[in-house]
Amino acid sequence: MTDAAPTSSSAPPGGAPAGPISGEGTAVAALSGAARPPVVGWKTFGHPGATKLLSRSLETGRLAHAYLITGPDRVGKRTLAIDMACMVNSEPLADMFGEAPNIDLRTSHQAERIRRGIHSDVEVIDPDTELENDHRPSRPDEDGETRDRQTISIEHVRQMIRHTATKPFEGARKVFIFDGAHRMVEAASLALLKTLEEPSDDVLIVLTAPTAELLPATVVSRCQVIGLRPVDAGVIESELIEQFGADEEQARSLSRLARGCPGWAIDALNDPTIIDAHNQAVLRFAEIVTGNIEERFRYARQTGGRFWRDREAVLLEMQRWLEWWRDVAMMRHKLSEIVTNVEWSDLLSEIAGELKKSQIAAAVTAIQNTRAALEANAVPQLTLEVLMLDLPWVDPAKVPSLRLDDRQDPG
């Protein structure tokens, strides 16, 4: 099964707003304890266990007041969180026979406004969310460029708390989505904890994070946890064709490269430069592994300098490194049929043939340690320089694919 069903439920189901709700063209019943029809029209795909649980919880009036959605980057956490906001704010519309068999998120006016980001009762909060009372000067980095915020601050949470003090304006519930909740500073987590301990009936809080372990246990214990696993490539391929108009060859290639993350495949379908960047990374890593110490340290300096400007891009680079080494390992074990970057099979095979299995395993460990250190805000350049020293070296003379003067990216 490709979907990850909910992994645990640490908190008792929360309440729901009482009183009339308007916005879908008919009188609206209160959410608390009211019988509700099933939900259809989810944007989320590949996670039927999660959507089925949430639909059933709404039907029975047993939604929790807070959820934590976990899973890999671009696996669908944010999409599911937005779907949840649409779900609690949408109402069934009666058909010509006066029946309302389901809540259809495809035709809901509330859902349409939420997905456009203009619904007054739904807020997505991340490090880049603007603060109403932010008078702090921007901090330039060493190159004079303004740094992006790296964390969700206590002011983000205080702003959310102020907004919970008023009733929903156009929907049934106010929904606050903390996208990347693992990036909260400790003070923000403590402030949020107080809200989680005293939930309001007309507020739903949704957190997303790679794993529950990255959040304080006290926060996790007050949320219902839904874990999303990588989606089967066949499901992604089918959805790319049916929902997004990709041709079969394109869908097959993207679903393979996505490694179970539908968001990556959809973004790559709409932006060809993503594939170009991916192919450049495959070649760049090969050049670093076969390069000298000066070239490696230059890479460390350039990538480290980028960290404070675009933290997520550097963390993505570490993820690409892991995927690259995974393909090298597959080639070393003669498992070419499950290599992700099949277009680069010759290059990967040549490198794999020059390395011991223990060297490949050590390289993977070094990359994982580097990513963990960067996520903990270690000194970027120093951390990356240590990585460059830890990676094995391959004689470029043994990698003829790198010596092709007329080589072109396979994309």
Q: Structural domains in the chain?
A: 8-227 (3.40.50.300), 271-403 (no CATH)
Pairwise CA distance, residues 262 & 76, whole Å? 7
Supply the pLDDT for residue 312.
86
Pair 365, 392: CB distance under 8 Å: no
Instruction: Please report, in angstroms and rounded to a whole number, the separation of the first and last CA atoms in the chain.
Output: 31
pLDDT band per the 50, 70, 90 thresholds, residue 35: low
Helix (H) or strand (E) holding 8: strand 8-9
Copy the structure tokens of residue 410.
Answer: 């396979």
Phi then psi for 222, rounded to 5 degrees?
Answer: -100, 10
Supply the pLDDT for residue 26.
30
pLDDT band per the 50, 70, 90 thresholds, residue 311: confident
Strands (E), 29-165: 39-40, 66-70, 103-104, 122-125
pLDDT band per the 50, 70, 90 thresholds, residue 80: very high
Q: Average of pLDDT values for 228-241?
A: 96
Select from 259, 269, 238 the least CA-distant residue to 324. Answer: 259
Copy the structure tokens of residue 235.
Answer: 């499901």
Considering the chain, what percentage of its residues have pLDDT values greater than 70?
Answer: 85
149 vs 253 pLDDT, higher one: 253
Find how far residue 40's CA is from the centre of its chain: 23
Supply the pLDDT for residue 203.
95
Tell me which residue has tokens 């390395």: 355
Q: Average of pLDDT values for 31-35?
A: 49
Helix (H) or strand (E) holding 321: helix 311-332
Q: Looking at the predicted structure, is the pLDDT value of residue 136 above 80? A: no
Using alpha carbons only, how large is the chain's radius of gyration in Å?
24
Supply the pLDDT for residue 98.
64
260-291 pLDDT, tens digit each: 999 999 999 999 999 999 999 999 999 999 99
Supply the pLDDT for residue 377.
84
378-407 pLDDT, tens digit each: 999 999 999 999 999 999 999 999 876 444
146-190 pLDDT, tens digit each: 455 778 999 999 999 999 999 999 999 999 999 999 999 999 999
Q: Looking at the predicted structure, is the pLDDT value of residue 66 above 50? A: yes
Supply the pLDDT for residue 92.
85
Q: Average of pLDDT values for 334-363?
A: 94
CA of 54: how far to CAs of 42, 47, 58, 199, 289, in Å?
Answer: 11, 11, 6, 19, 46
Pairwise CA distance, residues 350 & 290, whole Å? 11
